[in-house]
Amino acid sequence: MSQIVTFEERDPVGLICIDNPPVNAIGHSVRLELVDAIARAQKSSSITVLLIMSSGEMFSAGADISEFDRPLGEPSFQQVQARIESCHLPVVAAIHGLALGGGLELALACHYRVAQRNARLGMPEITLGIIPGAGGTQRLPRLIGARAALNMMLSGTPVSAPDAKALGLVDEVAEGDLCDAALRFCKRLVHEGLGPRPTCNRIVFDGLDDTEIAAALLPHARVLKGRTTQDLLVEAIKASKLPFAQGIAIEAALAQKSLASRESLALRHVFFAERESGKLSGVSSANARQAQPAAIRQVAIIGSGTMGSGIAIAFADAGLEVLVNDNDPAALARSREIIHSTYASSVKRGRMIQNTADERIGRIRNTLTLAEVADADLVIEAVFEDMELKNYVLSKLDSFLPPQRLIATNTSTLSVTELARATRHPGRILGLHFFVPAHASRLLEIVRTEYTSAESLSTAFRVAKRLKKNAVVSRDAFGFIGNRMMLDGYFREAELLLLEGATPAQVDTALENFGFAMGPQRVSDLGGNDVGTKARVQLFKRESRPDPYFVIADHLTEMERLGQKTGRGFYRYENGSREAVPDWEVITLIEKLALERGISRREISDQEIVERCILSLINVGAIVLEEGIAARAADIDVVWTSGYGFPRQLGGPMFYADTLGLPDVLLRIRHYHKTLGYYWRPATLIERLAAAGSSFQQWDGSSVSQ
């Protein structure tokens, strides 16, 4: 008896139900059993209509992505769909939760679709670097038109059931119990004598000209920069004008091409890396199973500066009650302003309606009394980066909060271990390193110490999931994962290149052409050069670094060239504009600093800029792995793709290193070690993996099984 797809007769309806937790992915077994269930239904004389639905939280998240790396077994998606579409009985899909990718494509091959009011339907394949390859590019345009189909597939964002109805994608939006509504729908079909209605027999009512294609691509230009999947997608949708059999053959070829692309391999790697990083690694599986995460309903934040306010917004957005504490009424008033203006800007940009903003603002309360946070399920300290102050706040919290209550510090520079040690319950202390802007950044570094308990980590993961952030665990060390790699690798190299002769604009442009959202100097100007300088002062208390280490940025801070906020930094910004204009004053400063250090300046190629910045990032990443600061190379990829603008379609620095080939990476690192000096010492891990013909991915597979 089948476990994944069940079949039952509900006279006159043959009810087929997919039950493949957690997301009803349509893998090989589901396809096999679907075909089997359809065959059984067709044999029954009492069945006159077929209904396909799913149990669990959603209709289906699509094809089983974990099967993409091996040949897809038969029956293929196309074979299953042809079976459904050519069925002599009408087939209805009943959709709840999500119908994504291959899940939606399955529904498109059915003759009718009923969707629950809160269901969402989408084609997110582009986010994985592939095109819908199960008839989606041919059937969706036949139902809703080529232009609407292109828009849906380019954005990857699902549409609501009412919007899907308006588009012609679903026939009925069901209120109440979906199964009852769908059964009623089926019986009505029988009653009215309505039979099969194959989507493939329809014709596409509109076309796509070049102007329309360009207009459709424009809003996605930033996300799709450096990618190629969209070109394949356009080609496939254009083919929907052809007879179905021809179009579907073109789609199959293009889908295969997209699946085999580096872009797709990288994006699929990031997809799974993001899911894996949010799991307990380095904690024995027995401990992980026993770890009971605490339920979080109310969060308290101590400190109402920019970070504290941003964190408050992040939690309010996630539907939690937030209490912000500060002992300075003026600071609380400023925080209120920050929160109001952030929401006002979201409303102005059309990201949310005023009612939603008001509701979220209403979730955030202020208090001047620290004791009031006693009821919070999670307390996050976000006061100034000062060891004494943080120690005071954490010890105070530790003295009155129940011992199992999680306390997090939002430090980015201080030793979490030292902070934990000063409390009586160090097991419940960890770092939650939010990135600016805290409500929008997708990354959350969870900093664990030798004392942090599995329960605390488990709760932190749950918090990250609730905030829809990618959680990555870092051991407590200089800069944690991301900033360590940025400071000792990527950004340091960018600064050295300036001293050696490159200009800020040249460095930024080269790295933006490589695919970074923004070059390093533009990032520094955006965040504030003083912020970096202050952070390094704190970090140097843990470990110092020899000169030249951010000597340019620190001089700019001294000169009050703090970046965009003062109108001058690595660049000039005229009259409040965000446009970075090169400034000779900065070049003169760089020349002076280089001269003082005996660095002779020369012409530097863009290729050298990219190679040095990326290889140094990879090398420090490998050291971070060697030192056990990150548990997996894939975790580093998540940090860099979700928090530092590394091009997602290259999979993150460590995945990218694998695609370059570690022996080649090592060769170039050795070259720079010889020409530039000690700090290019090749990571032992790279040497070991290169010698063994291995990769970071293989290392992840073999090393993280604690």
Give the strand order in the sheet containing 364-367.
364-367, 321-325, 298-302, 378-381, 406-409, 429-434, 443-448, 470-475
Q: How far is residue 142's CA from residue 132's CA, in Å, rounded to a whole number?
A: 15
> What is the helix (H) or strand (E) element at residue 366, kind and residue range?
strand 364-367
Give min distance, CB of 444 to ligand CAA, in A. Answer: 15
The residue count for binding ligand CAA (CB under 6 A) is 23
| 124/532 with CB nearer ligand CAA | 124
Per-residue x/- track, 40-69, ligand CAA (CB under 6 A):
---------------------xxxxxx---
Give min distance, CB of 322 to ligand CAA, in A. Answer: 22
Q: According to CB under 6 A, which one of 132, 196, 310, 431 is a site residue for ligand CAA?
A: 132
| 127/335 with CB nearer ligand CAA | 127
Give min distance, CB of 449 to ligand CAA, in A. Answer: 26
| 33/64 with CB nearer ligand CAA | 64
Q: How far is residue 240's CA from residue 251's CA, in Å, rounded to a whole number?
A: 9
Assess whether 105 carries a catalytic annotation.
yes
Q: How far is residue 81's CA from residue 343's CA, in Å, rounded to a whole number?
A: 45
| 25/662 with CB nearer ligand CAA | 25
Per-residue x/- track, 271-310, ligand CAA (CB under 6 A):
----x-----------------------------------
Q: Per the omega criterion (within 30 degrees of 0), is the bond before 548 cis?
A: yes
| 130/617 with CB nearer ligand CAA | 130
Q: How far is residue 638's CA from residue 653's CA, in Å, rounded to a whole number?
A: 9
- Residues with Cβ within 8 Å of residue 442, at least 6 apart in sequence: 468, 469, 470, 642, 643
Q: How far is residue 449's CA from residue 473's CA, in Å, rounded to a whole number?
A: 10
452, exposed or middle or buried, with CB in 10 Å at 0-12, 13-18, 19+? buried
Give min distance, CB of 310 to ligand CAA, in A. Answer: 23
Q: Per the omega criterion (within 30 degrees of 0), is the bond before 90 cis?
A: no
The closest residue (CB) to ligand CAA is 101
- 546 near 486, Cβ under 8 Å? no
Q: Which of 8, 33, 57, 105 is catalytic?
A: 105
CA dihedral 295, 296, 297, 299 (to 10 degrees): 160
Measured between alpha carbons, how far is residue 611 from residues 193, 265, 510, 602 in Å?
Answer: 67, 22, 10, 17
| 433/469 with CB nearer ligand CAA | 469
Q: How far is residue 48's CA from residue 190's CA, in Å, rounded to a whole number?
A: 7
Residues between 239 and 278 with contacts to ligand CAA, criterion CB under 6 A: 275
Give min distance, CB of 629 to ligand CAA, in A. Answer: 23
Does position 105 bind ligand CAA by CB under 6 A? yes
- 394 near 419, Cβ under 8 Å? yes
Q: How far is residue 37's CA from residue 80's CA, in Å, rounded to a whole number?
A: 11
Q: How far is residue 513's CA from residue 605's CA, in Å, rounded to a whole number?
A: 13
Q: According to CB under 6 A, which one of 33, 85, 125, 326 is a site residue for ligand CAA?
A: 125
Give min distance, CB of 257 to ligand CAA, in A. Answer: 14
Assess whether 212 carries a catalytic annotation.
no
Q: Which stretch binds ligand CAA (CB under 6 A): 94-102, 351-359, 392-400, 544-552?
A: 94-102
Residues between 187 and 216 with contacts to ligand CAA, criterion CB under 6 A: none
Give min distance, CB of 55 to ligand CAA, in A. Answer: 15
Does position 402 bind ligand CAA by CB under 6 A? no
Give min distance, CB of 462 to ligand CAA, in A. Answer: 12
Residues between 136 and 175 with contacts to ligand CAA, criterion CB under 6 A: 136
Token pair 């003759």 in the structure block, residue: 111
Q: Which stretch binds ligand CAA (CB under 6 A): 125-133, 408-416, 496-504, 644-652?
A: 125-133
- 521 near 529, Cβ under 8 Å? no
DSSP state of 581: B
Q: Which stretch binds ligand CAA (CB under 6 A): 100-108, 241-249, 659-667, 684-692?
A: 100-108
Q: How crowded is the C-beta side of 616, counted as CA atoms within 13 Å?
A: 26
Give min distance, CB of 164 to ligand CAA, in A. Answer: 17
Q: According to CB under 6 A, which one of 30, 100, 364, 472 is a site residue for ligand CAA?
A: 100
Measured between alpha carbons, how far is residue 278 from residues 66, 290, 480, 634 in Å?
Answer: 18, 17, 16, 11
Q: Which stretch binds ligand CAA (CB under 6 A): 130-138, 298-306, 391-399, 452-460?
A: 130-138
Give min distance, CB of 67 to ligand CAA, in A. Answer: 8
Give min distance, CB of 485 to ligand CAA, in A. Answer: 25
Q: Which stretch binds ligand CAA (CB under 6 A): 98-106, 213-221, 281-289, 570-578?
A: 98-106
Does position 134 bind ligand CAA by CB under 6 A? yes
| 66/246 with CB nearer ligand CAA | 66
Q: How far is residue 314's CA from residue 439's CA, in Å, rounded to a whole number?
A: 4
Does position 133 bind ligand CAA by CB under 6 A? yes
By C-alpha distance, which of 329, 297, 301 is closest to 313? 301
CA dihedral 81, 86, 89, 95 (to 10 degrees): 20
Query: How many residues can be counted in the chain?
Result: 706
| 124/198 with CB nearer ligand CAA | 124
| 64/700 with CB nearer ligand CAA | 64
Q: Which stretch binds ligand CAA (CB under 6 A): 17-25, 315-323, 418-426, 610-618?
A: 17-25
Give min distance, CB of 659 to ligand CAA, in A. Answer: 22
Q: Which stretch binds ligand CAA (CB under 6 A): 95-103, 143-151, 335-343, 439-447?
A: 95-103
Could you tell me where the DSSP H helices lie in 479-550? 482-485, 491-500, 504-514, 520-527, 529-542
Does position 99 bind ligand CAA by CB under 6 A? no
Q: Which of 85, 125, 263, 445 is catalytic?
A: 125
Q: Which stretch binds ligand CAA (CB under 6 A): 124-132, 196-204, 553-561, 676-684?
A: 124-132
Q: How far is residue 669's CA from residue 611's CA, in Å, rounded to a whole number?
A: 10
| 467/665 with CB nearer ligand CAA | 467
Q: According to CB under 6 A, which one of 7, 77, 514, 571 is a site residue for ligand CAA?
A: 77
DSSP string, 19-64: --TTTT-B-HHHHHHHHHHHHHHHH-TT--EEEEEE-SS-SB--B-
Considering just the CA atoms, what is the radius of gyration of the chain in Å? 28
| 238/522 with CB nearer ligand CAA | 238
Q: According to CB under 6 A, which one of 5, 25, 485, 650 is a site residue for ligand CAA?
A: 25
Q: Which two tokens stand for residue 550?
A: 């951010």
Give min distance, CB of 340 to ligand CAA, in A. Answer: 30
| 66/345 with CB nearer ligand CAA | 66
By C-alpha distance, which of 46, 70, 402, 50 is closest to 195? 50
Q: Which stretch binds ligand CAA (CB under 6 A): 20-28, 296-304, 382-390, 438-446?
A: 20-28
Instruction: Give phi and psi for 260, each to the nearest 5.
Output: -85, -5
Residues recognised as catalytic = 105, 125
Contacts to ligand CAA by CB under 6 A: 22-23, 25, 61-66, 77, 98, 100-102, 105, 124-125, 128, 132-134, 136, 275
